[in-house]
Structure 1
Amino acid sequence: MFHYIVSITIILIFLMALILYVSLDKKVVYKTLQNKHVVVTGGSSGIGKAAAIEAAKLGANVTIIGRDIAKLKIAVSEIIEHCMDKSEQKIQYAALDVTSKYETISQCLSKLESDVGPIFMLVNCAGTCVCGQFENMKEQDIKMMIDLNYFGTAYPTRYVLKPMKERDEGLIVFVSSEAAFIAFPPDTDTPGFEKEELTKPEETKLISGSGGLHSADVIGKKIIQDAMVNIIGNKHL
C-alpha cells in the first residue's frame, strides 16, 4: 500500500518517461551543451540549481524557473560563476508557478524561447512532498502535490515535446524519488528533503534511506551527464 500520494504521481511521471524511452533506438552522446538552451523547473535550489550549474559548466544558456524571485536571483548569480564563458552564455530566471494553467506555462516558455532560443533540454525538478499516512492526509495537500508533481511536469513537457520532434532533437529529464521505484535520485540533501523528513513515515524512510544520502551537487551533475547520453529515434524523439 502506498503511504503517500507522491508515489502515485511519480509513477505517472515514470510511465510518461517509459513511453518516450521504449520508442527510441539510436544512441547519441552529447559532449557539450554549448549554445544550447536548458530550462530547469525548480531551479532556485537543491537538485534543480545543481543541474543548472552543471549545464552552465558545459556551455549552456540556462533558464531556471521558480516562484521565489529573491531565491531565483541569488541562484542566477551563483550559476553565472560556473559558466564556461560568462561573456557568451545567457543565464536568467523566470518567475512562474508550474501549477498554473497550461496557457500560462506555454506563454512563459514561448517568451523564453523568443529571448534565448528553442529549448534543447527541459529538466523537470519542481516538486514537493507532504509526507504522512495516506489515509490521514489533508485533501488540500493531496491536490497540491498532484498539481505540482504531476501537472507541473506534464505541462512543460507537453509544450516542448512537439517542437523537439519537429527538430528531431531535444532532451527531457524527469526527476523521480527512490521511494516510488527504488530509484532515481536517492535521498538528496536539499531544503525540500529536510522538510519531508519532518513528516515522513518510518516505512518511507526505510525504503528511500536504503540508497543513502547524497549531495545535490553530485545528483545534479549526474542528471545532466546521463541526459546527454541520449537515445534518439531514426525519425522523431
Structure 2
Amino acid sequence: MSRNRQKAQVAVITGASAGVGRATARLLARRGIAIALLARGRTGLDAAAEEVRAAGGRALPVEVDMADYDQVVAAGQRIEAELGPIDLWINDAFSSVFAPFLQTRPEEFRRAMEVTYLGYVHGTRVALHHMVPRDRGAIVQVGSALAYRGIPLQATYCGAKHAIVGFTEALRCELMHDRSNVKVTMVHLPALNTPQFDWLLSRLPRHAQPVPPIYEPEVAARAIVAAADRPGRREYWVGASTALTILGNRIAPGLLDRYLARTGYDSQQTDRPADHDRPVNLWRPADGPQGRDYGARGSFGGRAHRHSTQAWLSRHRLVTAAGLTGAAVGVLAWRRH
C-alpha cells in the first residue's frame, strides 16, 4: 500500500449497529474484506453482520461500550486473533443529549463525553497499539460541521466533536514527528437522516430533527470510505452546508452566534410533540437484545438528499482541477479568436 492510497483487508467500525457506521459497513463489505462491527446493541449488531456477509464481507460483531477502555482493548485483541492485523479503524460511535445546557444533568454530560470523545480516544489508542509496531494503517475520525461551529441545544455533542479535533490534530503532529506511516484523517459531516433523532435523550418539547439540508447516511459512508483509501489528506468536508458552516464561522462567528440564537431552537424541532417514553440510548442501547433494529436511515427520508455534488468534487479533486483548467484554457482560446 502506498502512503497516500491504502486498501484495508481488516477494518474496524465503532458505532456500527446503526446510522453512518451501518452504512459504512455495507459499503466496505462489497470489497470482500473482514469487518469488525463494534457497538453496544445486540439486535443492531446482528443485523449489521448479516448485511456485511450478504454483501460479500466477513463480519465479526462485538458488543462493546467505547467508554470502557478495557472493553475496547479486549475487542482489539479479539479482532487481531480472529480476523488478522487491523488495517483500518473508523471511529464513529457517539451518544448525546438534545437539551439546553442548563437542562443537561452533569452525569448525562459526562456520560455523553465518555462515549463520544473518550470513545474516540480509546479506539485510537487501541488502533495505534496494533498499527504502530507494523508502521502501517489508517484511522478515520468521523467528525461534524459542529466540530467547528457550536449550535444551541447541542452543547454536549458540539463539545465532544470540538475535543476530537484538538486531540486528532495533536496526535497527527506526533505521528509526523515519529515519521510514522500510520495515517489519521477526519471526515466532517452535515445533517444526516440517521436514527439518532429517534433514540438520543431529549428534553425538547417537540421531536428533534436535523437542520436542513439533510443527507442520507450513504453520502457520509462514501466519503468515509474515500478517506480510508486516502488517509494522507488532513480532513474531508461532506456537503456544501458543512463547507459553508466551517468557512462562515471562520469569517463571521459573531454573526452566526446571533443568527443561531434566533433560529437554532425552532430549526432543530419538528411540529410533533416529543415522545418522552421512547427508548433512550445514553445509558443502555436502544437496540439491545429485546430492542428493534434501527438500521442506517432515520425517519426523515422524504427530505433527505442521496447525493452531494460538493462531496463528489471533494473526493475527486484532481478531476475537478483538470476540468476547471480545461475550461479556463477553452475560454482563453475562445477569447483569442
TM-score interval for Structure 1 and Structure 2 normalised by the shorter chain: 0.7 to 0.9
Task: Name the aligned partner's letter for residue 93 of structure 1.
Answer: P
Name the CA distance, whole Å, in 1 between partners of 2:200 and 2:130: 36
The answer as to 2:212 corresponding to 1:216 is no
Structure 2: where are the runs of 5+ without partners?
Answer: 150-186, 234-337
CA distance in 2, matches of 1:55, 1:171: 14
> Which of 36, 59, 76 is 1:91 aligned to?
59
Q: Deviations over 1:105-135 (max 9, x none)?
A: 2122101110101111111111022022212
Partner SS, residue 118 of structure 1: coil
Moved over 4 A (4+): 194-201
2: CA distance, partners of 1:60 / 1:131: 36
| 2:124 matched residue in structure 1 | 157
Tell me which amino acid in the other structure corresponds to 1:49. R
- Residue deviations 1:19-53 (CA, integer Å, cap 9, x gap): xxxxxxx95123x43xx110101101110011111
Residue pairs, 1:139-158, within 5 angstroms: 139-158=106-125
Q: Is the 8 A contact 1:189 1:213 kept in 2?
A: yes
Deviations 1:128-164 (A, max 9, x none): 2202221221112101111101111111110111331
Larger relative contact order, structure 1 or 2 (CA cutoff 8 Å, min sep 6)? 1
Q: Which has the larger radius of gyration?
A: 2
Percent identity between the aligned chains?
24
CA contact (8 A) 1:187 1:193 kept: no
How many positions carry a matched residue from both structures? 194
Q: Which consecutive unaligned segments of at least 5 residues does structure 1 have? A: 1-25, 84-88, 233-237
Q: What is residue 144 of structure 2 aligned with on the other side?
A: 177
Distance 1:177 1:68 in 2: 23
What TM-score does the superposition give when structure 1 sets the normalisation length?
Answer: 0.73
Return the match for 2:5 from 1, 6, 29: 29
* 1:193–1:225 distance in 2 versus 1, CA, 3 Å: farther
Amino acid at match of 1:209: V
The verdict on how the C-alpha distance between 1:74 and 1:62 changes in structure 2, with shifts beyond 3 A counting, is same
Task: Calculate the aligned-residue CA RMSD, in Å.
Answer: 2.6
* TM-superposition CA deviations, 1:167-226 (whole Å, max 9, x none): 12111111122222258111111101444595579xx98xx736x211011211211112
Q: Distance in 2 between matches of 1:57 and 1:68?
A: 23
